[in-house]
Amino acid sequence: MTNSTHADPVENPAGDEPLRIRPSRTRDTLPGRRRTVPPKHSPIVDNATYRERALVEGDVTVAELLRWQWDGYARYHRSRMNLLIHIVAVPLFLMGTVGVVTALVQRSSLMAVVSIAATLVAIALQGRGHKQEQVPPEPFRGPGDAISRIFLEQWVTFPRFVLSGGWVHALREATRT
């Protein structure tokens, strides 16, 4: 017997619904407990699904947004110029946002202005970089979508892309645009 979870089909007397799957017990589960297999992929797997769900249901969760960004990240970051812009602009954005918080704590208007300017320059540079891409980014649905997508990309998705080796791989494979 293996330690993997498998599923047994459940009878469907009506015949008009798809078969439901019931998780089976495995050797490594405790008596009286069943272990289920989590879905392989998030329900948000591509732009069309993300847009459709976001438009029909409204907000998506942070976890869904992060999954959607990660799943499509390499597809939207293939241009050598865009990758090089991102490796400079994302740290600039991060420093700018930390600077804004620091400026608020220290009540420094000069630091706030410089930090906001750095953040805006970083966003503008990345916007220009994305114009180099063969696959354009999904349009923002509104200000809330723009803010959440930008902040999550800068603080989570791009650093993850770099640390996973995705950025170096994409740079090696990049088109010369």
Tell me: the pLDDT tens digits for 122-157? 999 999 999 989 888 888 888 988 999 999 999 999
Q: What residue ranges in 1-77 does DSSP mark as E strands?
A: 7-9, 21-23
Q: How confident is the model at residue 26 (pLDDT cuts 50, 70, 90)?
A: very low
> Rounded distance, CA 164 to CA 162, Å?
6
pLDDT, residue 174, reads 85
Q: Kindly indicate the confidence band of residue 62, based on its pLDDT and cuts at 50, 70 and 90.
A: confident
115 vs 74, higher pLDDT: 115
- pLDDT of the residue at 18: 43
| Position with higher pLDDT, 114 vs 139 | 114
Selection from 166, 4, 145 nearest residue 71 by Cα: 166
Helix (H/G/I), strand (E/B), else coil: 152: helix
Supply the angle between the helices 62-72 and 47-57 in degrees, to the nearest 10: 160
Q: What is the distance between the alpha carbons of residues 152 and 93, in angstroms, rounded to a whole number? A: 12
Residue-level pLDDT at 29: 37
If pLDDT is split at 50, 70 and 90, which confidence band does 82 have? Answer: very high
What are the angstrom distances between the C-alpha of 175 and each of 38, 68, 98?
37, 24, 33
pLDDT recorded at residue 57: 53
| Least confident range of 28-32, 35-39, 71-75 | 35-39
Higher pLDDT: 21 or 17? It is 17
Residue 92 reports pLDDT greater than 60: yes
Average model confidence (pLDDT) across the chain = 76
Which pLDDT does position 64 carry in this prediction?
87
More confident of the two residues 33 and 125: 125
Number of helices (H), then strands (E), in the chain:
7, 2
Specify the pLDDT at position 1: 45
